[in-house]
Amino acid sequence: MGYLTTITIYNDALNDFKNDPRAFAIAIFEGIDEANDTCKSAHVLFKDRSGYLTVHPSRHGSDNTVYVLKGNCVTEINPYSKDIKRLVEEKPDFIRSIVKIVKSDIKGLEKLLAEAKNQSKARKK
C-alpha cells in the first residue's frame, strides 16, 4: 500500500487552472509538500490567489480518515489530525454540526445495508 493525497479544488477558479496546467500542477506539488511538512491542510496560492486549492496531508493506504464536505469546505474527521484539533478549539459549533452529519449518514448507510440484506434474503427464497 502507498500513500494517498486528498486535494480539494474550488471550481470557481477552474478556468484559471485549465489555462495554466503547468502552474496548477506545481501548486499541487507545493501543497503536498507543505501539507506533509506541517501535518495539516495547506491552502495553496495559485497565481497570487488563495482559497481555491486545498491539499490535505497524505495518508497511508492503511490509515483511516473521513472527509466531510460542508460549508464550502472539506474537513477531515479524524481525532488525531491537527486540523480537527484546531477546529474543535476554534469552531466547536461547526464541528458539532459535522458530527450530526456523520451520524445521520451512518444511520442512512446502516438502513441501506439492512435493506440490501433483506432483498438478498428474499431473492434466495
Q: Measuring CA to CA, which residue among 58, 57, 59, 68 is closest to residue 95?
A: 68
Question: How much is the pLDDT for 32?
Answer: 97
User: What is the CA angle 56-45-90, rounded to 5?
Assistant: 55
pLDDT (tens, 9 = 90+) of the chain, 125 residues, equals 699 999 999 999 999 999 999 999 999 999 999 999 999 999 999 988 888 999 999 999 898 899 999 888 899 998 888 899 999 999 999 999 999 999 999 999 999 999 999 888 888 87
Q: Measuring CA to CA, which residue among 76, 71, 73 is closest to residue 57?
A: 76
C-beta separation of 54 from 42 below 8 A: yes
Supply 58's cell numbers: 497524505
Q: Measuring CA to CA, which residue among 56, 29, 52, 28 is closest to residue 42?
A: 56
